[in-house]
Amino acid sequence: MDYPASIIAIVLAAGAVAGCLGALLGIGGGVFLVPLLNVGMGLSWPMASGVSLMTVIATSSVVSARPAGRRLINLRLAMLLQLAAGIGALIGGLTVKGLPVMFLNLVFACVTAMIAVIMLSRLDRRNVIFDTSVDPGRLGGRFYEEESGREVIYRTRRLPAAVVVSVAGGLVSGLLGIGGGILQVPALNAWCGVPLRAAAATSSLMIGVTAAASAPLYFARGDVSAPLAGAAVLGVLVGSQAGLWFGGRARVKWLKLLMAAVLAGVSATYFFRTL
């Protein structure tokens, strides 16, 4: 199919915005890009997802490679939840195909709205422990936090909650064509004691692996338009740098507000799709 330069430029710009927000919040740009490409540009749902998955992989790789993101990644937590998400996706792909997408959209809209409210209710609560003699435990972590200018520690609590959310994230990701990051990052932050930046970086690593598990299928089925995906990926490479730059400087409270706003927007989008 022939795409004029103007279309390629628009997709590149959309990729940049998705990459910026994705890198900032660790959720991958799919939740913004899929509706935009589908509704805004008239691409079919699988083709929009195919392009989106490529941008998620690019965002993930950029964030996980840069020192700013890499130091915040909790590799043990990432692998544990990745396993849960992978099993969830596998179960979803095998069994729940019969569920009406309308119903899933509605459930997803409700869940994201609920998480947005939880996020807002915890704006001033912090998960970081300033006493560096505290043992972070096997699943905890430590990092240098610029906001307070010191090394901080966190412990992972309520691991079963994180595992359940990851399985659920894996389930919906295959069915709705979005990454599980939008559920995992807020859940890790609100329930499991993981600071938002660490949750975002850990999720960034995971969404790349999750997307790499489904992208080859879209690719093999011919649902990945090479020029559009290429343009979106280039946009992401620029946008994610901007996202990392903001992420290092923005206050955590501001990031939480942004996350809540994104969740509310996503919730509204999926709610209206059920009407």
User: What residues make contact with other proteins under the rule CB under 8 A?
Assistant: 2-3, 5, 8, 54, 57-58, 60-62, 64-67, 70, 75-76, 79-80, 82-83, 86-87, 89-90, 93-94, 133, 135-138, 140-142, 205, 208-209, 211-217, 219-220, 224, 226-227, 229-231, 233-234, 237
Spatial neighbors of 136 by CB under 8 A, at least 6 apart, are 142, 153, 154, 155
Backbone angles phi, psi at 41, to 5 degrees: -115, 0
144 is written with which tokens?
A: 């240098």
Residue 200 contacts residue 258 (beta carbons within 8 Å): no
Of 242 and 257, which has the nearer Cβ to other proteins? Answer: 242
* Residue 142 bridge partners (DSSP): 153
Instruction: Please state the closest distance from residue 108 (CB atom) to other proteins, in A.
Output: 21
Of 28 and 35, which has the nearer Cβ to other proteins? Answer: 28
Listed residue (236, 253, 254) closest to 32, CA to CA? 236
Instruction: Please state the closest distance from residue 2 (CB atom) to other proteins, in A.
Output: 5
Q: Which amino acid is at 226?
A: A
Instruction: Please state the closest distance from residue 132 (CB atom) to other proteins, in A.
Output: 9
Of 24 and 56, which has the nearer Cβ to other proteins? Answer: 56
Instruction: Please state the closest distance from residue 271 (CB atom) to other proteins, in A.
Output: 30
57 is written with which tokens?
A: 């992989």
Burial class from Cβ neighbours inside 10 Å (0-12, 13-18, 19+) for residue 6 reads exposed
Instruction: Please state the closest distance from residue 39 (CB atom) to other proteins, in A.
Output: 24
Of 142 and 157, which has the nearer Cβ to other proteins? Answer: 142
Instruction: Please state the closest distance from residue 3 (CB atom) to other proteins, in A.
Output: 7
Measured CA to CA, the distance from residue 34 to residue 80 in angstroms comes to: 28
Of 4 and 125, which has the nearer Cβ to other proteins? Answer: 4
Residue 145 contacts residue 163 (beta carbons within 8 Å): no
Instruction: Please state the closest distance from residue 8 (CB atom) to other proteins, in A.
Output: 7
30 is written with which tokens?
A: 């799919």
Of 96 and 114, which has the nearer Cβ to other proteins? Answer: 96
Of 67 and 160, which has the nearer Cβ to other proteins? Answer: 67
Spatial neighbors of 186 by CB under 8 A, at least 6 apart, are 115, 118, 119, 259, 263
Instruction: Please state the closest distance from residue 134 (CB atom) to other proteins, in A.
Output: 8
**Residue linked to tokens 């879209």:** 218
**Residue linked to tokens 């994104």:** 262
Chain-centroid distance of CA 201 in Å reads 10
44 is written with which tokens?
A: 């079919």
Of 65 and 114, which has the nearer Cβ to other proteins? Answer: 65
